[in-house]
Amino acid sequence: MGGVSVGARLRTMWLMFFMAGIGISVWAITVPYSKIKFDLSDGTLGLVLFAGGIGGLVGMPFAGMAIGRWGSRAVLIAVSTGVGVLLPFLVSAHSSVVFTALLFVYGTLFGALDIAINAQGAVVERMSGRLQMSGFHACYSLGSLAVAVASFLLLRLGVSYAGCALMNASAILLILTQSGFLVAHEADARAVGPRMALPNRATIVLGLCCFACFMTEGAATDWSTVFLRFSRAMPLASATLGYAAFAVATAGARLLGDRVAMWLGQAAVMRMGCAVAVAGFGLVIFVPFGWVGILGFGLVGLGTGNIAPLVLSAAARVPGMAANHSVPAVVGLGYAGFLVGPVVIGGVANGLGLGFALGLDAVLLGATFFAAEAVAG
């Protein structure tokens, strides 16, 4: 495939990130279905979901080692195939124990997919000679949105959850037929390094930035509707608009993110993003009107939408460390933020109020403002 154009590789990467968005969104839709199916309490469901997150953390370092040996394309194809094959089994699990075990495996595969797809994306970005990562992640967001809309329509038409999962799995495997346009191992040789390596200072700084960003995403996912419903007394249907505003603004920011970063500089975009997100949290916390809270969560999504792509792009070019070690380290810290952040917010909210807890997230984003130079190209 040496004659493949950069344009073809870019289009393929857009499809691959769209595919990853399908994979994570189907998981999210399967969770409430399984809660009802197995009659799980909220506490038990939290433990079940934790298995998937732990699986993701387990899969990441092994993905880095596998990329060093076989290349990001081979790992991406292998784990994506596993994700597509496993999806229907998640829905058809006959007990909560089996579902938890499958969710752990699914999380492991998806954690490895996250590493491989970002490593491959960094290679294609470098080949293109300009920033591309925000656009890639926009496709990820669009894939998630497409599954949410398609699943809603299919379920309304009477299609079963198993049928939806089978169709989404087929979409994943169909997209994988284009994997021949991905960059081969010889071309991403820069990612090859020692089998194991401890993260250096630059990698840790980027990882902490990713932690703050992913924690914000987890907070918006888990707590925005709860905050608007119980702290701002909004009807449940209206309260869900907080997360909708966050998700749509995130996707919109990413669609324009690469062009803006090329124009203003990556560090400047990250600083602006942190400032906008902190301002959004300020509206959410201090203005006691629900519609202002919806606007605030939208600003949080607009501000943080490009932080993770900028951080992951920078992780692939950390001086003195191979990308197959730096990228898993950064994404691993980010996953930790997504996992423990919402739990910490819940614990703090129990004693000091949800507004105060969300303020801690805003403080972390404020600190990230001062680490923006870490993403400068």
CATH fourth-level superfamily of 201-375? MFS general substrate transporter like domains (1.20.1250.20)
Can you give the pLDDT at residue 173?
94
Can you give the pLDDT at residue 78?
96
Domain assignments of the chain as residue spans, ordered by start: 6-191, 201-375
Can you give the pLDDT at residue 195?
56
pLDDT-derived band at 340 (thresholds 50, 70, 90) equals: confident
Can you give the pLDDT at residue 192?
47
Q: Is the pLDDT of residue 189 over 50?
A: no
The reply to whether 201-375 shares the fold of 6-191 is yes
> Percent of the chain at pLDDT above 70?
93
Mean pLDDT of 101-114: 91
CATH fourth-level superfamily of 6-191? MFS general substrate transporter like domains (1.20.1250.20)
Mean pLDDT, the chain, integer: 87
Region of poorest pLDDT, from 79-88, 173-182, 233-242, 334-343: 334-343
Q: Is the pLDDT of residue 364 over 60?
A: yes
Give 9-62 pLDDT, tens digit per residue: 999 999 999 999 888 777 666 766 777 788 877 667 767 777 888 888 888 888
Q: Is the pLDDT of residue 365 over 90?
A: yes
Give 160-174 pLDDT, tens digit per residue: 888 888 999 999 999
Q: Is the pLDDT of residue 83 over 90?
A: yes
Report yes or no: 342 and 221 within 8 Å, Cβ to Cβ: yes
Can you give the pLDDT at residue 188?
60
Q: Is the pLDDT of residue 194 over 90?
A: no
pTM, full prediction: 0.80
Can you give the pLDDT at residue 20?
92
Report yes or no: 30 and 168 within 8 Å, Cβ to Cβ: no
Give 230-262 pLDDT, tens digit per residue: 899 998 778 878 888 898 899 899 999 999 999
Can you give the pLDDT at residue 79?
96
Burial class of residue 350, CB neighbours in 10 A (0-12, 13-18, 19+): exposed
pLDDT higher at 372 or 320: 372
Can you give the pLDDT at residue 191?
44
Mean pLDDT of 120-129: 89
157: phi then psi, degrees, rounded to nearest 5: -85, 0
Can you give the pLDDT at residue 307?
94
pLDDT-derived band at 339 (thresholds 50, 70, 90) equals: confident
